[in-house]
Structure 1
Amino acid sequence: MIRNPVIHIVDDDEGVRDSLTFLLESAGHEVVAFASPLEALQAKDGPACVITDVRMPEMNGLELVEQLRSKDPGLCIIVITGHADIAMAVEAMKKGAMDFLEKPFDDTALLRAVDQALSVKTDGSPAADPEAARRVASLSMRERQVLEGLMNGQSNKEIARDYDLSPRTVEIYRAKVMAKMSAETYADLIRMGLKAGVSPV
């Protein structure tokens, strides 16, 4: 009998662990949940995919990504994050996480991210997305600059100062970027930019 790939969930919130476990097991996945990153790192059997929160006691999700990567460079890691933690989630993707999802996320989005993670052999870079790359290619030079600024965590005012524009003009460009990228949220935009190969400084 062939075992299904094992997914590890790492979150200090018991409610989140329980709901994710139920969702993934309902979709046919084998799941092991951990209340802390240290517990996850001590697990004897290596997972095929790890889903981790960002903010946890003892060790944050970014540090966990680094340690998991050092143990298994090809491991698929998905980060779940609150809005205030998006900058950290982006940093986690730069360090090897494959994807991140902003809370509250749709069940379908999580299952899709897991399926993609399990089907793609990763080298430590965010999973490539040809459609996202096509959308980035459709941006004008100024729109691309605004996208890169947003991916660097800059505010509209900071981007405006860098390119000698008014904040209002940056808002207009930002709206155009969101529309061209078909991004519903800031997190969507950042995720697609990373998967399209845009490399913020």
Structure 2
Amino acid sequence: MSPSTIFVVDDQEAVRAALAEMLSVFGFHVETHASGRSFLDAYTQGRRGCVVADVRMPEMDGIELVRECVRRGIRLPIILISGHADVPMAVDGIKAGAEDFIEKPVDDVQLVAAINRGIERALAQQDAESSREKLAIQFNRLTKRQAEIFDLVAAGHTSQAIAAQLDISSRTVESYRAVIMEKMQAESVAVLVRQAVRLGRIAL
């Protein structure tokens, strides 16, 4: 797994340098960019971390950067730095998809806490998506009949009811259930039901 990088985006060199120095002291790997466009041109998909960007920048402001990241599928948490007069803009940034905003003057502890929250949430989301992908792969390995019985079991039907509905024996249904549980790595029907919910096979 690649280490997380904090991407500092600000048009003022002194601000970039100060933030980079402060974040480095806290142990972060920092990369600075003078504009949103510079960051977008340099960023490669899959890099982990967090963006810290000023709201007010020429050419592309912080909110436009948030929207462009969303459009490109760049799923890094973005923390906006705003002056008091820029708070309404920062709120618009949150609505556009930013993680948080910090008012100037920037409080070091508050910023680091926001960065850590953003990275933790992003990693948890990535882990959840990876888990869903694994689940989908497992489900796609079921035969058509196994998938049919999976849905019926998850919907709460008994083996006897499934047997009657499909015109097969209860023993055959039990045999199918055992294979389904093994393929789905589900140790109980309760786990199977939760898997069905996550796969969108049944609604809560």
**Structure 2 length normalisation: TM-score?**
0.56
CA contact (8 A) 1:8 1:47 kept: no
Equivalent residues in 2 for 1:5-16 (5 A)?
A: 5-16=4-15
1:38 equivalent in alignment to 2:44: no
RMSD of equivalent CA atoms: 1.7
Match of 1:79 in 2: 80
Cα deviations by residue, 1:46-105 (Å, 9 ceiling, x for unpaired): 452101001111111111100011223532010000111111100000010010000002
Larger-gyration structure (1/2):
2
Indicate the SS of the match to 1:120. Answer: helix
Indicate the SS of the match to 1:78. Answer: strand
The 1:43–1:88 alpha-carbon spacing in structure 2 relative to 1, beyond 3 Å, is same
Report the residue type matching 2:20 in the other structure. Answer: T
Pick the structure with more helix per residue. Answer: 2
Q: Structure 1, unaligned stretches of length 5 or more? A: 124-201
Indicate the SS of the match to 2:80. Answer: strand
Cα deviations by residue, 1:98-127 (Å, 9 ceiling, x for unpaired): 10000002111111111111111369xxxx
Equivalent residues in 2 for 1:129-168 (5 A)?
A: none
Report the residue type matching 1:25 in the other structure. Answer: S
Distance 2:102 2:39 in 1: 20
Q: Structure 2, unaligned stretches of length 5 or more? A: 127-204
Match of 1:62 in 2: 63
Report the residue type matching 2:22 in the other structure. Answer: L
| Number of residue equivalences | 122
1:26 equivalent in alignment to 2:25: yes
Percent sequence identity over aligned pairs: 42
The 1:18–1:73 alpha-carbon spacing in structure 2 relative to 1, beyond 3 Å, is closer
Distance 2:84 2:41 in 1: 29
**Structure 1 length normalisation: TM-score?**
0.57
**Relative contact order, CA 8 A, sep 6+: which one is greater?**
1
